[in-house]
Amino acid sequence: MSLAMGICWALTALVTYLLPFFLNPLDLNWSGKVGYVFGGGCFLTALYQYFWLPETFGFTLESYLTLKLHANEQSR
């Protein structure tokens, strides 16, 4: 969890630093085109969620954890 939070803070700092350069007319002047960058990131995230995250509808937390534990024991 702390690794994920560290990555989140680092990316937030990067976006906060770079966004004014993208929007400034004297620097890059991307103005509305910056949305394509963020939209591309959202699209990649949606693909990741669709193909690699399991469907948990109808599962209780205990049954899902039991299923994952059993799958981990089988892979050893």
pTM over 0.95: no
Rounded CA separation 56/25 (Å): 46
CA dist 38 and 11 (Å) reads: 13
**Cα–Cα distance measured from residue 10 to residue 73, given in angstroms and rounded to the nearest whole number:** 35
| Helix or strand holding residue 25 (H, E) | none
Q: What is the pLDDT of residues 7-53, one digit of tens each?
A: 999 999 999 999 999 999 898 988 889 999 899 999 999 999 999 98
Average pLDDT rounded to a whole number, residues 55-75: 82
Range of the domain at 55: 2-74
Q: What is the pLDDT of residue 75?
A: 66
Our count of domains for the chain comes to 1
**Using an 8 Å Cβ cutoff, are 66 and 58 in contact?**
no
Q: Are 32 and 26 in contact (CB under 8 A)?
A: no
